[in-house]
Amino acid sequence: MSRPIYLDYSATTPVDPRVAKKMVPFLFERFGNPASRSHSFGWDAEEAVESARAQVAQLAGADPKEIVWTSGATESNNLAITGAARFHRDKGRHLITMTTEHKAVLDTMRHLEREGFTVTYLPPQPNGLLDPERFAAAFRPDTVLASVMHVNNEIGVIQDLAAIGGICRARGVLFHVDAAQATGKVAIDLESLPVDLMSFSAHKTYGPKGIGALYVRRKPRVRIEALIHGGGHERGMRSGTLATHQIVGMGEAFRIAREEMAVDHERARALRDKLLAALSALEETYVNGDLEARVPHNLNMSFNFVEGESLMMAMKDVAVSSGSACTSASLEPSYVLRALGRPDELAHSSIRFSVGRFTTEADIDAAAALVTRNVRKLRDLSPLWDMHLEGIDLSKVQWAAH
Amino acid sequence: MAYSDKVLDHYENPRNVGSFDKGDPSVGTGMVGAPACGDVMKLHIKVGEDGVIEEARFKTYGCGSAIASSSLVTEWLRGKTLAEARQIKNTDIAEELALPPVKIHCSVLAEDAIKAAITDYLAKRAAQ
């Protein structure tokens, strides 16, 4: 049996073989604890960790001293938001974020609400982007932190960090950015960007799972309270023995990402454009999220009158994900697509395609053919498609909601 | 999520897809669900003079389990009296297709579609 075509790079990426090769020696020969100061095993591991720290910093235009290792972007988001909010709780207890953030941000915010903080959740514009004016209007005298993601995981739209961060700076409010989906896809220069805290993940950028980092600005110095206490690693911000092999992997992955970003970007764009052109030949398809302010690796499309899970079932040889309720236990369609103000049925009909470093043109051709064939097949089965062909406006029909 | 072989079979080879003439007095239509909820089933039954369902047809917008549930009931309905058809329970459908708990609502929708089609047919007869 041949393996399915992988078009779900936004979920995770395979580890680049060059990365895996770099990691292996640190599991055995070079196994030292980077915190061991008394022998060469420790010194060797420490050197590897610091070299990786520099590689991660370099991709983001940061100073290596501003990088704190974590277990991934979820931990980084928790540490940044909870850590900053708790540290500054006497200054104010109001936080601002967006309804389309990742759950690692939204659930952290919910948790802080239980600790007595108040959170404003701003909806995006219909294209997925945050309206800076609306953002500026959400500030209160007691606002201490705002968190807005760089690249959205479902629809791939890129928020204007310079504009949003500038608004925070002008009000002396900390700005956190979840950049898990951005690394290697868009250039990040923290030296010039008005960002105080930024979360990174390795496994979305051809590194291993289980490792991430948090950027904590030094000038002006950003203070956060630790969530994990222990040996005082990472200048007290995140205790725990460093996972040298994972860190080395993340460093190498980010080095490659920086060096190959331009090439990766052009390849992704060509593949995405090919897929978009093929699928746009079908009637009643809609791209979710802005097509310009967007990473080319992501194509999120709704195929009207076809339910997303049934479409995925039909194309089981292609690995993608859907905003359909049926793919989640909650029976709610994607909250990100709903936040765009699209009708629920378009959220149910959505498929996220995400391409990456190892996607080929042949993959795209095969996927496009499969989608096209099965959308037609499922529309032949769909009473909504019949009604559409008869000219019935489905939004005017009285449905028995269940 | 892994699907049962029966769900896959009905999904890949749906039985009795289509519709009958809605204006035909021997036809009952049941349309249940809502696009916003992710599934809509349309069931047509054609009832003979003897009160026995001669044929059933469906069209469904929904997940694989919803398609399979409606395909299955079109097979079950054929040859049943209206009274027998009313006895089909969602639990029978769920059991036959080995639906997981999160998909039980698909079988509920199929049962609702049967009831709606019978009600529509009887209303048409009464109006004649």
**Residue A258 contacts residue A318 (beta carbons within 8 Å):** no
Here the tokens at position A171 are 């009000």
Write the pLDDT tens digit of every residue in A235-262.
999 999 999 999 999 999 999 999 999 9
Locate tokens 């060469």: which residue?
A40
CA distance A218 to chain B (A): 46
A167-173, long-range: CB within 8 Å, 24+ apart, which pairs? A167/A132, A167/A135, A167/A136, A167/A139, A168/A194, A168/A196, A169/A194, A171/A139, A171/A143, A173/A96, A173/A139, A173/A143, A173/A144, A173/A145, A173/A146
pLDDT digits (tens, 9 = 90+) for A76-100: 999 999 999 999 999 999 999 999 9
Where is B49: in which H helix or E strand? none
Over range A227-238, report the average pLDDT. Answer: 95
pLDDT score for A64: 98
Kindly name the residue from A138, A186, A326, A384 that is annotated as catalytic: A326
Residue B1: is its pLDDT beyond 80? no
- Element holding B83 (H helix, E strand): helix B82-86
Selecting from B3, B61, B105 the residue whose C-beta is nearest the C-beta of A383 gives B61
| pLDDT at residue A328, as a whole number | 54
Nearest residue on chain B to A348, alpha-carbon basis: B38
The distance from CA A101 to its chain's CA centroid, rounded to whole angstroms, is: 9
Q: Which residue has the tokens 């005082």?
A: A232
Dist CA A19 CA B96 (whole Å): 49
B38 closest CB neighbour out of A314, A326, A329: A326
Label residue B74 by pLDDT band (50, 70, 90). very high
Query: In degrees rounded to 5, what are phi and psi of residue B76?
Result: -65, -35
Share of chain A above pLDDT 90, in %: 89
Q: If you count residue pairs, one on A and one on B, with CB atoms under 8 Å apart, how many are there?
A: 91
Mean pLDDT, all residues of chain B: 93
- pLDDT reading at A331 higher than 90: no
Burial A57-96 (b: 16+ CB within 10 A, else e): bebbebbeebbbbbbbbbbbbbbbbbbbbebbeeebbbbb
The distance in angstroms from the start CA to the end CA of chain B is: 48
Does A383 contact B38 at a Cβ distance shorter than 8 Å?
no
Structure tokens at B86: 């009313």
What average pLDDT does the segment B85-102 reach?
94
> Residues A349-373, buried b or exposed e (16+ Cβ, 10 A)?
bbbbbbbbbebeeebbeebbebbee
Q: Which residues of B touch A401 (CB under 8 A)?
A: 34, 36-37
A387 — pLDDT class (breaks 50, 70, 90): very high
Asked if the C-beta of B109 comes within 8 angstroms of chain A's C-beta atoms, the answer is: yes
Section A221-235 average pLDDT: 95
Q: Is A390 exposed, middle or buried (0-12, 13-18, 19+ CB in 10 A)?
A: exposed
In a mutagenesis test of the B interface, which of A322, A349, A395, A399 is the best target, namely the one with the most B β-carbons within 10 Å?
A: A399
Q: C-alpha distances in angstroms, A49 versus A24, A26, A306?
A: 14, 11, 49
B59 in A contact zone (CB under 8 Å): yes
Does A395 have pLDDT greater than 90? no
For the segment A328-336, the average pLDDT, to the nearest whole number, is 72
Task: Report the pLDDT value the prediction gives residue B128, as an integer from 0 to 100.
Answer: 79
Residue with tokens 């000038």: A219
The Cα A212–Cα A203 span in angstroms is: 8
Determine contact: B66 vs chain A, CB below 8 A.
yes
The verdict on a CB contact (< 8 Å) between B59 and A383 is yes
Longest dimension (CA), chain A: 80
Closest residue in B to A344 (Cα–Cα):
B36
Half-sphere exposure of A40 (CA within 13 A, CB side): 1
CB-side exposure of B118: number of CA atoms within 13 Å? 19
Active site residues of B: 37, 106
Res. A330: pLDDT tops 70 = no
- Identify whether the C-beta of residue A175 lies closer than 8 Å to the C-beta of residue A168: yes
How much is the mean pLDDT over chain A? 95
> How confident is the model at residue A333, as a pLDDT?
81
| pTM for this predicted structure | 0.92
CA-nearest residue of chain A to B100?
A329
Bridge pairing between strands A350-354 and A298-303: antiparallel
Asked about A168 being catalytic, the answer comes back as: no
Share of chain B above pLDDT 70, in %: 99
pLDDT of A60: 98
Span A166-183, mean pLDDT? 98
Residue in chain A closest to B3 (alpha carbons) equals A313
Predicted local confidence at residue B11, as pLDDT = 93
CA gap A323, A269 in Å, rounded = 23
- Split at pLDDT 50, 70, 90, the class of A329 is low
CA-wise closest residue to A245 among A285, A207, A218: A207
Q: What is the tens place of the pLDDT at every residue in A19-41? A: 999 999 999 999 999 999 999 99
Query: Is the CB of A344 less than 8 angstroms away from the CB of B33?
Result: no
Summarize pLDDT for A55-74 with one digit per residue, the tens. Answer: 999 999 999 999 999 999 99
Question: What tens digit of pLDDT does each residue of B11-21 get?
Answer: 999 999 999 99
Q: How far is B45 from chain A (nearest CA, A)?
A: 15
User: Quick check: B38 pLDDT over 80?
Assistant: yes
Inform me whether the pLDDT recorded for A326 exceeds 80: no
pLDDT band at A397 (very low <50, low <70, confident <90, very high): confident
Chain B residues within an 8 Å CB radius of A331 = 38, 102, 105
